[in-house]
Structure 1
């Protein structure tokens, strides 16, 4: 069934299925129209005339960006609204789009959630605004998340190239070398846990985003999406590198059964019982604020590789700023998004601890040479920047990735709490993803 036919048959039901997080659906949401050109002259004229734009975002550095933008363009009023983070924000946005009223001019959407809105024709294609000319400003992972053959549906705001955070104090105490491969990582976990049964190489209770990132780095390409045609590939050939390695950590009790972002997790990072954290470049600020007592103990290292000498990384997290199709004041909205994500606002956000998606900042000597007091004066941005450059740009998310992530712990996550193997759990996750997609009218291929 074609996307056009399915839209005609299902009406607002398709948007509700794609939005997934919406609590109610109203009238038709298809306010899309043919793209119209927006010249630089048009944008300048709009800024001179002025007006009001509403921006829905939870990212804290945008407060300063909005204030600076208002100073530069005093005739433009920016109403910055925090609709809640992630799921809450998508619920609010989906409800507004469905109702056809109250839609913001600009919205923050994480990369994994963009597909549900682009397929639902809910976002403005920014190509006619000249957004495609900005492609070279960004690293491959974030740009690939916002751009496709169907258009450019947002500008990257930040990125999450991955790295290995490790407790140097604990590693030194037990004579552990920093692992450069995942096999070495498993061996380090064994040595640590043998030396002190209270110490674990990491914590893990199953996380969809983390698992996807690890498979991304390992060369797996779980999903391909072409409109309503979806290909899902969880075959052993594509997942074995990850499942065989991570199963050892689970089966040998080398990972602490502690869920991230809990008090117990922060305590484990602070007292050294959790010795490493596989995370992204946005993590340092969380260490500094949430694990203050361990300042100086931790360091950053490149992400271990699946094969010795490999050069691959992955992203974890990151958001874009988009223009909802039903929003108003497109010229002003685009001007703000470009200012925040490709202009002067980038430096404002960096000064407040954000991690950029832009090449110029990642390649800047000032940025790379920044010393992190928390990490013993280490110039950690050099590692993050190198990681960003090694992210393969052919990763795709599902157009219903939010749903897929929501059923991860009921499927793949069972490997952490039952006799189910991780390989079996991933196959069960695949079945749930295929079943749901088929029920929603997608053509799902395996």
Structure 2
């Protein structure tokens, strides 16, 4: 997805009641047990589908699909971005009616809908044969517990976006380790008290991605048993670095995706972004004043040698069990995220692909955007995608988890105090909520 829209994802909490999460009694519809041949028949016969998506490429993708399959009509609906859509989608699950045939669902939110038994398992339609088409990290985000709940749309392997003009002015080398990154933060802020290495006022998605890069696995789920351990070794490895930045006032508290944030990215007051591979289009569109200043480098690591990153953001598309034409919906989804015709449209709108053929194409890797000084940034980002699969899993109520982040970990950022206390408060809230929803929750 175009991640400029990610900023509102934690605005609303979505409750997963015990009856939905564990008994799955309100999913509406059922798996048809179809086959790949049923998809061909459905596409030939035609029909009407409803597709919920907020991605900028959706309109053009739908038009291309209808041109190729003129007997099929796809009604595209923007039901809101992230949490706004998920609230409406969850309401259709509870009601047992009103869901679209196909919906865009981000990777972090997918387990919640999978657990409510509201998504169609696409295995019988031959989707398992598509596994080799996708990067391992994104495929593992849609294939869980022996089922295939969707197809990856895009991916967000993280990298270090940095302002070369600022780095050169202050004599800062591109950091390869997190220790070097902290040192760069100190040097830059000493040179200009109004300049910061990065802006981070606390973001749940960023925190979980950074923990993942450090090897943390704070969330595990087995059936109705959930573990929440935000003090595991990987989490502590991350906080040992990030605490230095938070406690020493080396991070800008400017909130992301605001006018001030864009302005400071443009004038050099914010010198780096550690974020997903979907960022280039956002910089080009919203920080035009800094054209030629920015570059992309591998994400710093803890040992400075072995490449390791994590995913940040990204979406899949799913077929809802409520669909009255599941085979046709599966056919549209298969075309949407695995056909060359569709992924070409998606990439033209600035999306970072998840299909390996697109990632490995010379035309993609050899692009030299002027905004980044002619650097072949996609080569760096594609390399990052090869080291972004680290086994990190989300909670089956991650949407709720993200919604209470600001009131817990966010307070550590606000006060400039150790992140451990905020993480402990977040953990306590997640344990309490999980138990209220009928899960057996432990912290070890």
Q: TM tier, shorter chain?
A: over 0.9
Q: Which residue of 2 aligns with 1:104?
A: 100
Tell me how far 1:260 sits from its aligned partner: 0.3
More divergent stretch after superposition (67-76 vs 404-413): 404-413
1:371 to 368, 371, 379: 368
Q: Which residue of 1 aligns with 2:402?
A: 405
Tell me how far 1:120 sits from its aligned partner: 0.6
Q: Which residue of 1 aligns with 2:18?
A: 14
Cα distance in 2 for partners of 1:264, 1:296 equals: 20
For residue 321 of structure 1, give the secondary structure of its aligned residue in structure 2. Answer: strand
More divergent stretch after superposition (261-270 vs 391-400): 391-400
Give the structure-2-normalised TM-score. Answer: 0.93
Tell me how far 1:38 sits from its aligned partner: 2.5
CA deviations 1:325-349 (Å, max 9, x no partner) are 1112111111111111111211111
Tell me how far 1:393 sits from its aligned partner: 4.3
Q: Which residue of 2 aligns with 1:9?
A: none
Q: Is residue 254 of structure 1 aligned with residue 250 of structure 2?
A: yes
Q: Which residue of 1 aligns with 2:7?
A: none
1:357 to 354, 358, 364: 354
Q: Given that residues 215 and 234 in structure 2 are in contact (C-alpha distance below 8 angstroms), is that contact kept between their aligned partners in structure 1?
A: yes
Cα distance in 2 for partners of 1:291, 1:371 equals: 18
For residue 108 of structure 2, give the secondary structure of its aligned residue in structure 1. Answer: helix
CA deviations 1:133-189 (Å, max 9, x no partner) are 111111122111110124010101101110111000000011100001111000001
Unmatched tracts of structure 1, length 5 or more: 1-11, 19-26
Cα distance in 1 for partners of 2:242, 2:126 equals: 44
1:271 to 258, 267, 279: 267
Unmatched tracts of structure 2, length 5 or more: 1-15
Cα distance in 2 for partners of 1:102, 1:431 equals: 35
Aligned CA distance change for structure 1 residues 271 and 419 (closer, same or farther; 3 Å): closer
For residue 102 of structure 1, give the secondary structure of its aligned residue in structure 2. Answer: coil
2:38 to 37, 42, 60: 42
Q: Which residue of 2 aligns with 1:334?
A: 330
Cα distance in 2 for partners of 1:114, 1:410 equals: 24
Q: Is residue 385 of structure 1 aligned with residue 406 of structure 2?
A: no
Q: Is residue 31 of structure 1 aligned with residue 24 of structure 2?
A: no
Cα distance in 1 for partners of 2:103, 2:213 equals: 29
Q: Where in structure 2 are the equivalents of 1:7-406 lying within 5 Å?
A: 13-14=17-18, 29-31=26-28, 33=30, 35-343=31-339, 344-406=341-403
CA deviations 1:247-275 (Å, max 9, x no partner) are 11111111111110011101110110001
More divergent stretch after superposition (64-73 vs 225-234): 225-234
Q: Given that residues 157 and 357 in structure 1 are in contact (C-alpha distance below 8 angstroms), is that contact kept between their aligned partners in structure 2?
A: yes
1:416 to 409, 413, 437: 413
